[in-house]
């Protein structure tokens, strides 16, 4: 009975699918795709995010948000695959295909939560090459346009120089190459809670 319960709480192995990714080079290399998690796994993660007490507030000069590293806690059995080799290898393989580079080392996997009135200012994530590629998974089943929380891509560090607006659609993914040019931001949240998981890698 115990084994059966454990199996019922585990998602199918082929849970991450980035095959629908469309790659763009402007304003810097990035890709986006939808319906990336299968077997209802996105709902499992969303439910976990709503219930967990692991969130802690982080404040910097350009953002305020709640977050925690998936490596800093004991993960529930039904979401452990988020940091297991098969899941991570799927991300690395898509990076190689989309960005034409190979050899990656995982830096961290961090859950993010933005609540009403929070936002993230323009930044590029560049820290001297210590982080080179990022994948963001969105978990926002009730999101609507007027809730905000858009991912904004910029041609420069000028907040008026917007190149692209990406909606934080539920069960979608966004990935980009980190560089001095990878300026982006998240617009203000209105009456909503915006959940994401951010995978950060370094190209070796």
List per-residue pLDDT tens for the chain, 204 residues long.
443 444 445 444 558 999 999 999 999 999 999 999 999 999 999 999 999 999 999 999 889 999 999 999 999 999 999 999 999 999 999 999 999 999 999 999 999 999 999 999 999 999 998 999 999 999 999 999 999 999 999 999 999 999 999 999 999 999 999 999 999 999 999 999 999 999 999 999
Which pLDDT value is given to residue 15? Answer: 85
Q: What is the pTM of this model?
A: 0.92
Rounded to whole angstroms, the Cα distance separating 199 from 137 reads: 8
Contact present, 135 and 176 (Cβ < 8 Å): no
Residue 5's H or E segment, with its range, is helix 2-8
Closest CA to 182 of 25, 2, 9: 25
What are the beta bridge partners of residue 185?
A: 152
pLDDT at residue 20, rounded to an integer: 94
First to last CA, the chain: 45
Nearest to 187 by CA among 146, 155, 142: 146
Task: Return the pLDDT at 187.
Answer: 97
Query: Which pLDDT score, from 0 to 100, does residue 139 have?
Result: 98
In whole angstroms, give the CA distance from residue 175 to residue 21.
9
The DSSP secondary-structure symbol of 63 reads B
What pLDDT does residue 160 have? 96
Domain 25-203 carries which CATH code?
2.60.120.620
Which pair of structure tokens corresponds to residue 86? 């098969």
Domain ranges of the chain: 25-203
In which residue are the tokens 């007027």 written? 146
């Amino acid at each position: 009975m115990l084994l059966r319960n454990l199996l019922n709480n585990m998602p199918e192995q082929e849970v991450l699918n980035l095959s629908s990714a469309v790659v763009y080079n402007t304003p810097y290399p990035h890709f986006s795709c939808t319906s990336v998690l299968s077997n209802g796994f996105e709902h499992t993660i969303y439910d976990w995010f709503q219930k967990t007490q692991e969130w802690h507030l982080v404040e910097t000069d350009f953002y305020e948000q709640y977050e925690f590293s998936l490596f800093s806690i004991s993960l529930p059995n039904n979401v452990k695959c988020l940091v297991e080799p098969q899941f991570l290898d799927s991300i690395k393989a898509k990076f190689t295909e989309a960005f034409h580079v190979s050899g990656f080392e995982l830096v961290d996997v961090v859950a993010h939560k933005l609540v009403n009135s929070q936002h993230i200012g323009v930044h590029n994530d560049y820290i001297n090459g210590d982080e080179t590629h990022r994948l963001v998974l969105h978990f926002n089943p009730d999101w609507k346009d007027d809730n905000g929380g858009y991912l904004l891509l910029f041609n420069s560090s000028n907040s008026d120089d917007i190149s692209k607006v990406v909606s934080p659609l539920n069960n979608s993914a966004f990935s980009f190459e980190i560089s001095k040019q990878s300026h982006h931001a998240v617009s203000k949240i209105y009456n909503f809670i915006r959940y994401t998981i951010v995978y950060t890698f370094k190209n070796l």
